[in-house]
Every structure is written in C-alpha cells, then in structure tokens.
C-alpha cells in the first residue's frame, strides 16, 4: 500500500509557534505548556524528557491535534488531511485499548473506522501484531494482558494505521527495562519502515539516549535541542507500508 496523497510536500509534519495550553482560569489556572515553539520533520527521532507534571503529555496532545492551544498555533504543513489517525498516530501514556474488543479488533480499529473492509483490516492488524511480537495475543481481551503486552498492542494499533508522525507518550513508563527496550526497538524500527517521524516522551535517560535528538521540558517550558546532522534528504523518502 503506498499513499502518495499523504504528504503534500517535503518537510514539516507539525509546527508549534508559541503554542500554549492553560487549564482552568483565574487564580486556579494551570499553565501546562508555555508558548512552545518547535517543529518535527520527516525522519526526525526526538526524545522529550522532563519531570512528571512538566507538560510533556500536554505538548504531545497539542502536536496530535487532540488539544487546542489556548494561545499560539499548531499547524501540520506537510499533512494533506491534518492530524487524522492515519497521519498522526498516538501511543497514549495510560491504558487505551477498548475493553470489549479483543486484541486483533483493537489493532484493526483505526482501519475499520477509516472505512477499510474488515478482512483486509484484520490481516493488516495481524501483520502489525507480528511486528511487535504479539501474534500470540490476537484473541485475548485487554484485561488478560500485562502492561507490557498492552503497550505493544497499542504500538501495533498505531502501526496498522501507518502514520507519518508517531507520538509515543512514556511508552515504557509501566514496563521493566527489558520489555521497555523492546518497545523502543519496535517504535524505532516501525518509524524506519513507515518513513515516519518519531517523538517519544520519557523520564528515563536510557530511553532518551536511544533517540538522536533530545528536547527537555521544565515547568511547561520547552527547550529544543540542536538538530543532529544526518544524510536523510529534506524531502519525504519513498515509503513502503508493510
């Protein structure tokens, strides 16, 4: 499956310009993100580190189009249809599988919602479960899964939709070191296979070290790091969707 329609041009998948998010108002208002300015381009591999409560999830949700900025702007210049699930995939911090659906139905859900016929969607879901080493879980319900297994299924669900931008919010937060390493391996390999950009929030320095570009957040303030030199052309690479 190739999707020539998916990218309108080279480059910037998401751009935040002074994007801020405040919750509540008056004296009780909490500024979760202060005017963040950043961009994520095709091929980027970015880790966002920062203590709990520093605004990492809120920033990720702004980049996913799931939160509206209360000031500033967030735009998706290279995404023809904006931040829809088959262009921007989110691995959420908490449990996100639908309890009443089994693993393969959960994984196929974005495709079914996008109008794909059930059988091909199911086949693709099984392929993606294989990529994350979760083939044996296909018939299980979410309540039968360990935290690590559920997280791998959540990654498979994102892969099934073949997004151009993968946003993973503390994907290893609930996992032991070894399982966490495997989930990061899978995210990196998937981003390569899909020709997607990958942004991972984490408070684990060992996870952050796996990504070449590091941003930090403190009290809602984002500091972006230098863009590492790379051979990747600015234009979107040829992509093959497995």
Question: Which residues lie near ligand ADP (CB under 6 A)?
Answer: 23, 30, 32, 50, 52-58
Rounded CA separation 235/129 (Å): 30
The answer to whether residues 241 and 194 touch, using CB atoms and an 8 Å cutoff, is: yes
Radius of gyration of the chain (CA): 17
Q: Which residue, 93 or 135, has its beta carbon nearer to Mg ion? A: 93
- 137, 153 Cβ separation under 8 angstroms: yes
CA-to-CA distance for 187 and 20, rounded, in angstroms?
28
> Near Mg ion by CB under 5 A, which window of 85-93, 153-161, 212-220, 227-235?
85-93
Nearer to ligand ADP, 36 or 187 (CB): 36
Kindly identify the residues of this chain, within the stretch 93-112, that bind Mg ion according to CB under 5 A. 93
Q: Which of 149, 168, 158 is nearest to 102 (CA)?
A: 149
Considering CB under 5 A, how many residues would be counted as binding Mg ion?
Answer: 3
Q: What are phi and psi of 208, to 5 degrees?
A: -60, -35
| Residue 74 to residue 48: CA distance in whole angstroms | 18
Question: Measured from the CB atom, is 140 or 214 closer to Mg ion?
Answer: 214
In the list ligand ADP, Mg ion, none, the entry touching 124 (Cβ below 5 to 8 angstroms by class) is: none
Picked from Mg ion, ligand ADP, none, the partner binding residue 30 (CB below 5 to 8 A depending on kind) is: ligand ADP
Q: For Mg ion, which is the closer residue by CB, 106 or 202?
A: 202
> How many angstroms separate the first and last alpha carbons of the chain?
8
Question: Residue 213, interface with Mg ion (CB under 5 A)?
Answer: no
57 in contact with Mg ion (CB under 5 A): yes
| 202 belongs to the binding site for Mg ion (CB under 5 A) | no
Chain residues that interact with Mg ion, rule: CB under 5 A? 56-57, 93
């Amino acid at each position: 499956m190739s999707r020539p329609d998916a990218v309108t041009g080279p480059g910037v998948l998401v751009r935040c310009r002074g994007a801020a998010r405040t919750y509540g108002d008056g004296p009780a208002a909490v500024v979760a993100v202060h005017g963040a300015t950043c961009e994520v381009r095709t091929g980027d591999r970015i880790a966002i580190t920062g203590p709990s409560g520093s605004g990492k999830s809120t920033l990720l949700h702004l980049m996913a189009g799931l939160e509206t900025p209360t000031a500033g702007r967030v735009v998706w210049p290279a995404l023809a249809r904006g931040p829809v699930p088959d262009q921007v995939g989110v691995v959420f911090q908490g449990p996100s599988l639908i309890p009443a659906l089994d693993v393969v139905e959960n994984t196929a859900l974005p495709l079914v919602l996008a109008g794909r016929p059930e059988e091909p969607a199911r086949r693709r879901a099984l392929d993606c479960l294989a990529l994350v080493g979760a083939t044996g879980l296909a018939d299980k319900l979410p309540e039968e899964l360990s935290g690590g297994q559920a997280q791998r299924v959540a990654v498979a669900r994102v892969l099934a939709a073949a997004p151009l931008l993968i946003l993973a919010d503390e994907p290893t937060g609930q996992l032991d070191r070894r399982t966490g390493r495997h989930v990061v391996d899978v995210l990196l390999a998937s981003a390569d296979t899909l020709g997607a950009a990958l942004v991972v929030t984490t408070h684990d320095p060992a996870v952050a070290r796996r990504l070449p570009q590091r941003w930090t957040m403190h009290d809602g303030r984002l500091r972006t790091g230098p863009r590492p030199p790379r051979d990747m052309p600015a234009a979107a690479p040829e992509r093959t969707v497995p």
